[in-house]
Amino acid sequence: ELEAATETDRYIAWPGQALSYMTGQREIEALRRLLEERDGDRFDLSAFHDEVLGHGTLPLATLRRELPKWVKPRDA
C-alpha cells in the first residue's frame, strides 16, 4: 500500500515521467526486435546494450537512426 501511494504521488508530481519512460522502453524493445530479426542467431545482446547505453542520453529519433549502424552481428 505504501508503494502504491508513493508511485501515485510521484505520477501526480511528475506526470510526464511515466509516459516518457514507457515511450523509451517501447522504442528500445522495437529496436531490439528489429536487430534480432536482422541478425538472427548472430544477434549480440551484449553489444546491443553497450551501444544503447554507451552513447548516453540521445533523442529516440537519433537512436532509431543510428543504432542499426552501431550494433554489429557476432561473427558466425
Q: Could you read off the pLDDT of 27-67 as tens digits, one per residue?
A: 999 999 999 999 999 999 999 999 999 999 999 999 999 99
Predicted pLDDT of residue 76: 58
Domain membership of residue 47 (yes or no) is yes
Predicted pLDDT of residue 75: 84
Domain membership of residue 36 (yes or no) is yes
Domain, as residue range, for 14: 2-70
The beta strands (E) that lie in 1-76 are given as none
Here the cell at position 1 is 500500500
Task: Count the domains in the chain.
Answer: 1
Residues 7 and 1: beta-carbon distance below 8 Å: no
Predicted pLDDT of residue 19: 85
Domain membership of residue 75 (yes or no) is no
Domain membership of residue 56 (yes or no) is yes
The answer, yes or no, to whether residue 18 has pLDDT greater than 90, is no
Domain membership of residue 76 (yes or no) is no
Domain membership of residue 66 (yes or no) is yes
Residue type, 40: G
